[in-house]
Structure 1
């Protein structure tokens, strides 16, 4: 049996605990959490006690200097990545951070270059790629594109209304009344004025998952071709000419989560409905319509395993660190998401 990997955590706030720490802590056959860096002392002590973490440090530099870990999960605000990511990559430790990779394209490019120069795995946390429903859909999309049985890929349509994103998964968080340490956050890109910079940052914060998922499902790069002025619709064209649309907040829900993906071929489609990001032990729902003009048309609902995307993402990261598979999204590709966001704002606002 392979040796358990030693995992270090940098930061243990709400997302650090619910999206990551609680999942890695249960993967006891694959890894053990051996170190935690958290500047809020009482919070760090309480988390270490609950999860049995033997080493506690004040910051990531101390962890890197004193601990021996195989990989680090740095669940941080993306504006704080510039203070943490370079040190970890230069130390040669495999790294996972949340999406997006950075605030600006330029900072993201520097991170991607550092990962290459130091030959370090740097996975960016687009957990939707790891949802069993999305993995199933991606495999089927690639199969249909190869066989041609259902014609050409015509459209990828993503609908993203705001909703209740926690989905009942926020219980049991260890809190603290300790103040956050002062941080120097990455500024907004200098090529945007304050108004456009804020709009860019809002787009990145709310829709970068879908920007990334569009490329995942298309299977190739794409460019922004249309940006509706009210901010409801973005249209794109892939390298091979496939159309894609992202519908942003066409409506909203208060108690539900209705994020959907439609991948349409000439004679069939695959539809994915994803659960709220923190809804535990829920995978997405897949619906497949087949009508190849020869057989009786069918509408099927494949049954997905009861594994939610955050947990599967942790499993996929560990497998990537061991060299058993490629990471769902590396730093290079994550930079492309910021380029799409930049181009969308420029096109929408006539810059």
Structure 2
């Protein structure tokens, strides 16, 4: 993600920032990336980078279980932090990140690019309008389906590789998570944190999300999770299969119709989520497909643009750390329910 997405996007935003350094513990890989992109400084690790007083903000993409710890070190060193999801692998870690943020006086933003997708933004605006006017009635049910497949969209941005081993991390795992289920948990967490976050954000649910049930297979791949989101029943269907598409859809059903979102392939540039609205309360029962005015933008670039501008102008983050704690709590609860369901089935 750093090489394919974040470094190129930061360099495209040089009217508002300067990319001055990278940190990489694999020295040969670090040199190759530095040379390819013409980055002035290369640090051996994030602590060495954190000691550079000229650096104001840092983007972190690392091991899912360890990147939150890197973020804590950077916050304590007085840096603003952009952190790839997931924020943490357990609630205790997420809470320590927020505490480090509070103590440092700096701020952390999560890489929830779906919040910067022009189609999703349009759908959220329309939903808020319907609920404000009352013409569609109340939200009655939400269905999110994420049956995943090819996600890179053939993105051909160069990526350096070496034979150096992956960095070893001293991971502190949740006490409730059996060792044999760690890979399944990380796999589900790193993907479906997007889905949980999207449902919370679209509906303005905040922390008003509870896990009702979770029925997943042993690998936590195929299955269905039932949530209560802002008092409304919502489901997240999960799975993966071979294919060239990204089969992720969200439908918000109301008394008078529905709004449907079709998510694009993740790394497909400048294609927003598809937006379809059915207004069954109207005499002619209209179905409309909408394209947002600023639709030819890439959410990954827009989230980085937002992060930089928010740091420069001391503006609120669109995906703040304090809000993302809710996703960690919900994902923990989902997997606990999954383990309980498997134990009962045995």
* Alignment TM-score, normalising by the size of structure 2: 0.89
Change (3 A) 1:260 1:42: same
Preserved contact between residue 188 and residue 201 of structure 1 (Cα < 8 Å): no
Aligned equivalent of 2:76: 90
Aligned partner of residue 160 in structure 1, secondary structure? strand
Aligned equivalent of 1:316: 306
Aligned residues: 334
1:5-20 map, 5 Å: 15-20=1-6
Change (3 A) 1:190 1:228: same
1:229 deviates by 5.1
Pick aligned residue for 1:124 from 102, 106, 110: 110
Q: Does 2:173 match 1:173? A: no
Aligned equivalent of 2:174: 189
Q: What are the Cα deviations for residues 290-346 of structure 1, in whole angstroms up to 9, with x where unaligned?
A: 233356624232245211211111112112213464322222222211211121122
Aligned equivalent of 1:335: 325
In structure 2, what is the Cα distance between the partners aligned to 1:335 and 1:77? 18
**Structure 1 segments of 4+ aligned residues over 4 angstroms from their partners:** none
Pick aligned residue for 2:232 from 242, 266, 274: 242
1:109 deviates by 0.8
Aligned equivalent of 2:16: 30
Aligned equivalent of 1:156: 142
Change (3 A) 1:170 1:234: farther
Pick aligned residue for 2:268 from 275, 279, 290: 279
Aligned equivalent of 2:255: 266
1:286 deviates by 1.4
Gaps of 5+ in 1: 1-14
In structure 2, what is the Cα distance between the partners aligned to 1:181 and 1:293? 58
Aligned equivalent of 2:316: 326
Gaps of 5+ in 2: none
Preserved contact between residue 153 and residue 266 of structure 1 (Cα < 8 Å): yes
1:236 deviates by 1.0
Aligned partner of residue 202 in structure 1, secondary structure? helix
Aligned equivalent of 2:243: 254
Q: What are the Cα deviations for residues 108-133 of structure 1, in whole angstroms up to 9, with x where unaligned?
A: 11111111122221011111111111
Preserved contact between residue 234 and residue 344 of structure 1 (Cα < 8 Å): yes
Aligned equivalent of 2:188: 203
1:100 deviates by 0.8
In structure 2, what is the Cα distance between the partners aligned to 1:289 and 1:112? 40
* Root-mean-square deviation over aligned CA pairs: 2.1
